[in-house]
Structure formats: C-alpha cells, structure tokens
Amino acid sequence: MARAVKMSPNEVWRYRWDIALVRSGDGNGLLQGELRMTVDTVEELSEIILRYSYNPGVVAVHFERRIEFDVSHVPDACHNCGESYSVSSASRRWHECECGGHLLLGCTACGFDQYYPRIGQECVRERSPHVRRHRVSQLPAVC
C-alpha cells in the first residue's frame, strides 16, 4: 500500500539558526566568552537578537543559518501503483527547485514520478532569470 503522506516543501526543508552571543564580561555575573544556542524559527531568532541587543554584557550577536532536508517521510511505495520501492528499487533523481529541491522517485513498475516533498505553492513561483541558485549536491543518502 502506498502511503498517502504528502509532505509540503516547508515541512521537509527545515531551517535552523545557530546563534553565538559574544560576551565581554561585565563583572556582574556575566561571564566572558561565547554563549551558543540554536533556534528553529525566525521568531525565536529575532526575539533573542532583540533581547540581547540591549544587554551591556553582550558585545556581538552572530548567527548562521543551517538548512536541513528531512528524509523521515520519504515515500516507500509508488503513489500510483502501490509498488514498494524497496522491491522495485525506484530511480532517484534530484529536482532543483525554488523551495530547495525535491527528491524525484521514479517507479520502475509503472513509470510514475513521485516528488518528495510534493510540489507546493512556493515551487511554481516565477523564477527571476538572473537569479540562479547554486546548491551543493544535497541528494540525501536514503535506503
């Protein structure tokens, strides 16, 4: 049986921000050095930046974004014919996209191509002709 889970791009492409607060040490209990934390949402990121921007013991706030591709819901069977990918060994290709990209699973039994994540609204956005996104090959190793 094919699983009906249809993950949308924003459920599969996850952003995380690693934050480093650089502390000068103000003699009031704040230690010198870096304090590191990781958040999952822009709201949390901006809250931390706002909170520490006024803190006299913090001299800098650095952050870096990480992009993670969640492979925990990759379909294990063809959505069209139900053939298990573990039996038919589906072809796997990478489909470049505005959202980050899709894993394209081609069924060897019926030829049906299944996108993971599914094509969402953010995928059909018109692409600016001179903005070409370059992505290091991120085809995840899944079995």
Minimum Å gap between C-beta 40 and Zn ion is 20
Name the residue nearer to Zn ion (CB basis): 17 or 117. Answer: 117
- Count of residues that interact with Zn ion, criterion CB under 5 A: 12
Name the residue nearer to Zn ion (CB basis): 16 or 118. Answer: 118
131: Cβ–Cβ under 8 A, 6 or more apart, which residues? none
Residue of the chain from 45, 90, 99, 105 that contacts Zn ion (CB under 5 A): 99
- Does residue 75 have a cis peptide bond before it, meaning omega lies within 30 degrees of 0? no
Grouping H, G, I as helix, E, B as strand and the rest as coil, residue 53 is helix
Minimum Å gap between C-beta 107 and Zn ion is 3
Which residue's entry shows tokens 């796997």?
92
Name the residue nearer to Zn ion (CB basis): 65 or 133. Answer: 133
Backbone torsions φ then ψ of 75, nearest 5 degrees = -60, 145
**113-116/33-39 β-pairing:** unpaired
Contacts of Zn ion in 23-52 (CB under 5 A): none
Question: Where on the chain is the footprint of Zn ion (CB under 5 A)?
Answer: 9, 78, 80-81, 83, 97, 99, 107, 109-110, 112, 123
